[in-house]
Amino acid sequence: MLAGKRILLIIGGGIAAYKSLELIRRLQDAGASVSPVLTRAGEEFVTPLSVSALSGTAVHRDLFDLTAEAEMGHIQLSRSADLVVVAPATADLMAKMAQGLANDLASTLLLATDTQVMVAPAMNVRMWDHPATQRNLATLRADGVKVIGPNEGGMACGEFGPGRLSEPDEIVAAVERQLADGPLKGKRVLVTSGPTHEPIDPVRYIANRSSGAQGVALARALASRGGEVVFVTGPASVAPPDGVEVVPVESAHDMLAAVEAALPVDAAVCAAAVADWRVTSASDRKLKKSKDGLPVLAFAENPDILKTISHLEDGRPSLVVGFAAETHDVLQNATAKRKRKGCDWIVANDVSEGTGIMGGTENAVTLISDAGAESWPRMAKSEVASQLADRIAAALAKD
Ligand code: C5P
């Protein structure tokens, strides 16, 4: 998926630098060529010889290297790549980037480049949590730098928390996502998927049978067309696809908050089976059997995420797509639902018993839009996703 792509890989000085060797391999396996840059601190953790041997090319190390400068000046080096990846990005490197310092080769390249930059931070958890690092992170994000990770887990220093370098596979997936070509390149698309869980007490919840299969297929189809996909998913049984930003949530309330945080987007596709009600009397202690009788649950209506997005006054996505799973009068109900929710398209399907659609691999849908109702033949959910993604790309291309 990265055939012909050129990656400038800046390796900072942290214990996680050893993973950059594996990263070079994985990027090459995906078809990319890698030009490595090793900081002075990076050389303390991996040797220029290993980096050079693995990448099959010279390692750039020095700002004032006359030979290197004669072969390819640092300005040209900073701009000759399709993507600049900093892995591991140390707290120090991130601080330099945020401040615009240029006192060694890595920081000078990062200041001189006009290419997209992606950083994969790795540092001790306290350094990551420090307000200075968080300030720098916010500055970098505002400057358009993409951030991968860090992951949470045990660290070489013996502490536990966020600060671990993302795994090479995760970094390659993010690079592929960034460089994917296709009709949705440059478009940001939100997909909600899966069921929601509404707590009754800390161990019990109300849920539904949604597997998340159609939402996963859609997210995959949108990402493979070059879209930047934010995938907000409830606890689904089908795993999220690679190459999308996954935001796991539990309840409808969490889902709405995650959706609002993901805005603005060019298109929103609400495939989630959001619970209509939540338990207002949810207890923070496990409910116990009692001689006084059965527990009584009080319910309140959940926020309607699709309706909320459709009625945004500021920053409404150009295209909002909802789903309508019905067991009878499919067309009538779905047409009314489109009006009620205010979305542009409704994808309606019959989930009555005997169709095998709920939880199955196939779907038979009708696409309802301003143009009327269009019934598609029964096909695999992945095929429904492909055709819908093509329609979404075509609609956004008109903007
Ligand atoms: O009203 P109903 O649940 O049938 O509507 C289905 C559509 O509305 C789906 O697109 C679903 O994702 C969305 N929805 C929502 N928030 C809710 C309920 C449904 O986004 N609370």
User: Which CATH number do you get for residue 193?
Assistant: 3.40.50.10300
Last-in-domain residue among 179, 207, 238 = 179
Query: Is there a contact between 148 and 170 (Cβ–Cβ < 8 Å)?
Result: yes
Instruction: Give the pLDDT confidence score for residue 224 in this predicted structure.
Output: 87
Distance 166 CA to ligand 1 centre (A): 34
- In this structure, the answer to whether residues 281 and 218 fall within a common structural domain is yes
Q: How confident is the model at residue 208 (pLDDT cuts 50, 70, 90)?
A: very high
| pLDDT tens by residue, 268-326 | 999 999 999 999 989 999 999 888 889 899 999 999 999 999 999 999 999 999 999 88
Query: Is there a contact between 136 and 94 (Cβ–Cβ < 8 Å)?
Result: yes
Whether this prediction's pTM lies above 0.85 is answered by: no
* pLDDT score of 105 more than 70: yes
Q: How confident is the model at residue 360 (pLDDT cuts 50, 70, 90)?
A: confident
- In this structure, the answer to whether residues 203 and 165 fall within a common structural domain is no
Distance 338 CA to ligand 1 centre (A): 11
| pLDDT tens by residue, 313-342 | 999 999 999 999 888 899 999 999 999 999
| pLDDT tens by residue, 140-153 | 988 989 999 899 88
Which domain range does residue 19 map to? 6-179
**Which of the residues 156, 157, 261, 397 is marked catalytic?**
157
In a domain, 392, yes or no: yes
- C-alpha 212/C-alpha 327 separation (Å) is 19
Strands (E), 73-178: 83-89, 117-121, 146-147, 151-154, 160-164
Cβ burial, residue 373 (10 Å; 0-12/13-18/19+): middle
Instruction: Give the pLDDT confidence score for residue 236 in this predicted structure.
Output: 96
Which residues contact ligand 1 via a Cβ below 6 A? 192, 252, 270-272, 274, 302, 304-306, 322-324, 337
39 backbone dihedrals φ, ψ, rounded to 5°: -80, 165
Last-in-domain residue among 159, 179, 199 = 179
In a domain, 1, yes or no: no
User: Which CATH number do you get for residue 155?
Assistant: 3.40.50.1950
Query: Is there a contact between 279 and 199 (Cβ–Cβ < 8 Å)?
Result: yes
- C-alpha 344/C-alpha 321 separation (Å) is 6
Mean of the pLDDT values across residues 208-230? Answer: 92
Q: How confident is the model at residue 216 (pLDDT cuts 50, 70, 90)?
A: very high
**CA nearest to 307, candidates 334, 332, 344, 351:** 344
- In this structure, the answer to whether residues 49 and 113 fall within a common structural domain is yes
Cβ burial, residue 19 (10 Å; 0-12/13-18/19+): buried
The percent of residues in the chain predicted with pLDDT above 90, rounded, is: 75
